[in-house]
Structure 1
Amino acid sequence: MGCVLKEEEKVGLLKVGFFKDGSEKSKFLSYSYESRIMSVLYGMGEKERIDMASILNLSLRLCRAGKIYGFWYNDNDSCVYMVCENINSTGLLKFFYNEEEERLSSDKISGFGIVSMEMCEILISLISEGLIIGCLDVNCFVFNDFGRVYVDLGKVLSMGRRVNKAIQRGHKDLEVSLKTEVLENLVFISPEMLLKLFCKEGFELDCGKSIYEVGFGSDVWSLACLLISLIIGGSFIKEMAIYVDFIVNAANDGNVYSYVSLCKDWMENVKTLLGCRLGLEYEPQKDLLCRCLEFDISSRPPVTELWKCLRELVLKPNFDFGVTLKHEEKKEKTGHCVLLGDLCRIAEDTNKEEIDGLQQKYEIGRAGVSRDVVEGLSGGHIECIDMKGHLDCITGLAIGGGFLFSSSFDKRVHVWSLQDFTQVHTFKGHEHKVMALIFVDGGQPLCISGDNAGVICIWEASFPFNEKPLKKLHEQKDWRYSGIHALAVSGTEYLYTGSGDKLIKAWSLQNHTLSCTMSGHKSVVSSLIVCNGILYSGSWDGTVHLWSLSDHSPLAVLGEDTSKNVTSVLALAAENNLLLVAHENGCIKMWHNDLLVKSLQTHNGAVFAASKKGRWLFTGGWDKTINVQEISEVGDQIDTVPVGSIACDSVITAVIYWQEKLFVGQSDRVIKVYYGV
């Protein structure tokens, strides 16, 4: 059951993210109130969402915790806030005694005992849930209308962010920042927790990891400091200033062990102050509170033992009828720590540059759960991500092994992650423009690229990548012809190259030698594709030749025009018995079982790229437009239905459709990833 917000009830707000309206990229999309909140929550990292879920679940399960009602979107600042219960209370400050009297009265000690027991009970409940707060301050605990102690989860998160922000300021302002938190805001952080935070921020500490391993005992240290501050008053704050000096100096020097003895001296001073305030009558409580301050986390008592000891301040031992508190501490050494979680590392104030960066990260992540680009196109809801890194026109795209490979006139082959669409590697080995590339999915994944000087580079296409090629092959040089224009593979057996010398060459992928040469075209072989045991080759002579993969013999020629009305073939796509041929004049010809069944004029200019997957055909070219057609086959009958088009800002040179996303290579050096939303 969720929490209900009453009318006129005051609440606390904790910022969790900024919403940036992306409607300028999609004119058909308008975000609802709920979708704005959900988009911000989705834009958070996975660890942040896990932290948030832990806090939300805790607010529902823990009866002594302030409730979290949900989330609220503020139109004024475009931010989403977590809405928390705001218990109207003065907190623990009324128990903070500044007067330096020698001894506390019995009434004050009894009142302190009741409050401290309830604080211990809350901490025991948190431990039973496997949760470590990481630090405590006087504002974390509040009183309800009946005087019972509650933990305010909203203030816990707010405190955690302040502490992380203080640590993130680094070496220069660290001492000032920490003293502000500890002395002015009365925040108490155990030494191992501070050292852990220092390590996360890049401080180099000359100590073993065990010295800053946090656990449930870290909160015992913080709670003990909070209780001692209620007993001693202002004198303890002065001692905390000394403690901060010790820890900061240890972090700056990098040598923690040299400060351990100083911390022990500090603990003895605290013990003396406690003795003055409590007297000999409460020696057990004084000793146990000091044990809670041990530098070694394993030497600190469990919070259940602290509860039993503090109970004697309220109920004398001779009136104790054997009531005990069940030991609820989990067997694990550590639990989930709020202070170390990503939710406490979200900046309170985010500038515009950070917001734009977060939005780009969100858009990239959202593409991972996007709708099919075709569905988005039909509904008018598509978005795209720009992948930049090449220095010249994109010439080819290939996908395999979890990566996208791209070739360019800049003589480079780039490798991109298909998870977040970032560049992960660059293959360097060509000295001329790379014209084509292909992926070989075998026992050893390969990426093969060819340039206009006739050089073929074979790259290992698995992580970790090498900059240098595994093997280089060279076509016979002839100054009259351009080099390689097209590549295709037949499994892991043969590599086929189409070149400016009008020939198709078959290279063995086993021993990297030239196996045979296929001739028949009258001009540049511009495109190659393998499908159903047949090699298709397209040429500037306007024809498509069919070759047997078994013996590389010619099978047929498509598109021979006796009227000499020749239009160059620039791209091929094939699936089953359907062949699609893209021409220089913007025409797409469809061949079924070697018969021309349909001709479409879909573009105003040359069609440089085509990709078919299932019933979808994607084409793009000189007119800077991607056309999408739905193709249906009934027997020998082929029907096409235009789905829509995408206007691009540059000439389209490569297209590949993969897992409901459309990857587009452009002449302006950019690769675009289109997806539906």
Structure 2
Amino acid sequence: MPRSDPTRGYSDGDSLVGEIVREEGHIYSLAATNDLLYTGSDNNYIRVWKNLNEFSGFKSNSGLVKAIVISREEKVFTGHQDGKIRVWKTSSKNPRVYTRAGSLPALKDVLKSSVKPSNYVEVRRRRTALWIKHSDAVSCLSLVEDQGLLYSASWDRTVKVWRINDLKCIESIKAHDDAVNSVVATESLVFTGSADGTVKVWKREIRGKRTVHSLVQTLLKQESAITALVVSHVAVYSGSSDGAVNFWEMGEKKILKHCEVFKKHRLAVLCLAAAGKLLFSGAADKKICVWRREGKVHTCVSVLTGHTGPVKCLAVVEPSGEEENGGDGRVVVYSGSLDKSVKVWRVPRH
């Protein structure tokens, strides 16, 4: 097993307060809770860190870890390059031990579906596959726990909707004309961004026992691929392969209105994260821009530098009330890069 390099610490006076370097793979995905950080890389490992020290780790045989989300029940969902989604949970006896709790879709569901010809759909020319399975890389995951749903976006141009309690695929949405790079689900809406240059808004409705999604708005149509999405309160942001960030706000009759496009990156925006009035954009130019929103205008208040490779993923942890009262009230930002490192930053909220 590759040896973990010592974590380097920095003074609290700096924006950069820590770094994790483990020379085993490029970092493609991150997820953070108040005390744990999960990192996914192209060597198939998911590492778990506590106070920037390695706490646990587990390996999937499904290839590069492109997405990680964590449920309140301490289940971990991971999306992979080979189109599979894995479910992991901690041992009740030892929180450092993670075991695989299932796959999406479950093998029994695959076998059951495979006998019926109507369950096969065309995924490429002269190639069919079961509609409940992704036929290409899973690019993104989004969890809506209150609805008991998990959404997966894929390069196969679909978004699939999974019921968490029994891990069943309940709907497959042919969402775009090219790879779906991002999906963000909220209480009633789902946002998708694609390499076809569009951002789409889908409405979730319960019809009897069925959950169905219908397209309600297309926010953007452009030549540049949509590479990242984030939703913050009533605001929606998309990042593009041309380095631009677009911003929409919820208007009357729940229609999103385009408010601004802003650009600081020279290369593709690969990830976005938001906290209050702050927006963070990580890009292929190795930089992270910190944007502050005032009204409908965003200003770049700082640029976080130090990565030597493209910034592929971001995770943000906002201070809780207790921490805010006793601490400095700064937001903790984790950035993962293709330079094989994760950097930890503290950014003032005001």
What TM-score do you get using the length of structure 1 for normalisation? 0.36
Which of 82, 104, 123 in structure 2 is aligned with 1:427?
104
Letter in 2 for 1:484: V
Letter in 2 for 1:617: V
Separation of aligned partners in 2, 1:529 and 1:557: 15
Matches within 5 A, 1:47-58: none
Separation of aligned partners in 1, 2:62 and 2:160: 20
By percentage of residues, which structure has more helix?
1
SS at match of 1:410: coil
Per-residue deviation, 1:458: 0.4
Separation of aligned partners in 1, 2:235 and 2:269: 18
Larger Rg: 1
Matched, 1:584 2:284: yes
* Superposed CA RMSD: 2.3
Match of 1:513 in 2: 214
1:251-296 per-residue CA deviation (whole Å, 9 max, x = no partner) reads xxxxxxxxxxxxxxxxxxxxxxxxxxxxxxxxxxxxxxxxxxxxxx
Matched, 1:525 2:226: yes
User: How much identity, in percent, do the aligned residues show?
Assistant: 23
Matched, 1:376 2:17: no
Letter in 1 for 2:76: L
Confirm or deny: 8 A CA contact 2:270 2:283 kept in the other structure: yes
Confirm or deny: 8 A CA contact 1:404 1:416 kept in the other structure: yes
Confirm or deny: 8 A CA contact 1:585 1:604 kept in the other structure: no
Cα gap change, 1:515 to 1:620, in 2 (>3 Å): same
Matches within 5 A, 1:216-615: 376-377=51-52, 382-402=53-73, 403-419=75-91, 420-428=97-105, 429-442=133-146, 444-462=147-165, 465-466=166-167, 468-477=168-177, 482-491=178-187, 493-510=188-205, 511-549=212-250, 550-559=254-263, 566-593=266-293, 594-614=298-318, 615=331
Letter in 2 for 1:554: H
1:49-81 per-residue CA deviation (whole Å, 9 max, x = no partner) reads xxxxxxxxxxxxxxxxxxxxxxxxxxxxxxxxx
Cα gap change, 1:423 to 1:523, in 2 (>3 Å): same
Letter in 2 for 1:595: T
Separation of aligned partners in 2, 1:401 and 1:371: 13
Letter in 2 for 1:475: A
Structure 1 residue runs of 4+, over 4 Å off? 24-28, 370-375
Match of 1:304 in 2: none
Matches within 5 A, 1:100-111: none
1:269-326 per-residue CA deviation (whole Å, 9 max, x = no partner) reads xxxxxxxxxxxxxxxxxxxxxxxxxxxxxxxxxxxxxxxxxxxxxxxxxxxxxxxxxx
Separation of aligned partners in 1, 2:176 and 2:135: 16
Confirm or deny: 8 A CA contact 1:460 1:470 kept in the other structure: yes
Aligned residue pairs, count? 253
Confirm or deny: 8 A CA contact 2:159 2:174 kept in the other structure: yes
Confirm or deny: 8 A CA contact 2:151 2:185 kept in the other structure: no
Separation of aligned partners in 2, 1:595 and 1:520: 24
Confirm or deny: 8 A CA contact 1:521 1:539 kept in the other structure: no
Cα gap change, 1:476 to 1:598, in 2 (>3 Å): closer
Per-residue deviation, 1:401: 4.2
Cα gap change, 1:506 to 1:375, in 2 (>3 Å): closer
Gaps of at least 5 residues in structure 1 are 1-23, 29-369, 636-677
Letter in 2 for 1:548: E
Cα gap change, 1:542 to 1:26, in 2 (>3 Å): closer
Matched, 1:632 2:348: yes
Per-residue deviation, 1:548: 2.0
What TM-score do you get using the length of structure 2 for normalisation? 0.67
1:509-566 per-residue CA deviation (whole Å, 9 max, x = no partner) reads 113111111115441111111112101111111111111233122111121x6xxx73
By percentage of residues, which structure has more strand?
2
Cα gap change, 1:390 to 1:437, in 2 (>3 Å): farther
Answer 1 or 2: higher relative contact order, Cα 8 Å, separation at least 6: 2
Confirm or deny: 8 A CA contact 1:523 1:539 kept in the other structure: yes
